Amino acid sequence: MQSIILHLLYLLVFLFVRWNDKVHGKTSEAFYIWIEDPESNYMYHSELFIMTRKQVSALAVAHYVIN
């Protein structure tokens, strides 16, 4: 019988941004979050994160669970 090993990564992203409409636009801006091994250049996970103006004004925290 083989055992199943599950690896979870909990990632918290704190948004410390001073919003500027000229730089970020009036509604939202998209960023990619990458988790990779720098030695082998293997990409473990990538995810699109969309930061809205409302999240910045509320000091929002983005929570991710990656398995």
pLDDT of residue 67: 60
Does residue 50 surpass a pLDDT of 70? yes
- Strand blocks (E) in 1-67: 9-14, 28-37, 42-52, 61-66
pTM for the model: 0.56
**Whether the predicted pLDDT of 9 surpasses 60:** yes
Domain boundaries, given as residue ranges, for the chain: 9-66
Return all residues near 8 (Cβ < 8 A) that are at least 6 apart.
Answer: 65, 66, 67
pLDDT at 66: 64
| Res 3: pLDDT | 59
pLDDT over 80 (residue 28)? yes
d(CA 58, CA 40): 38
Q: What is the mean pLDDT of residues 2-31?
A: 76
The values of phi and psi at residue 21, to 5°, are -60, -30
What is the rounded distance in angstroms from the CA atom of residue 56 to the CA atom of residue 44? 28
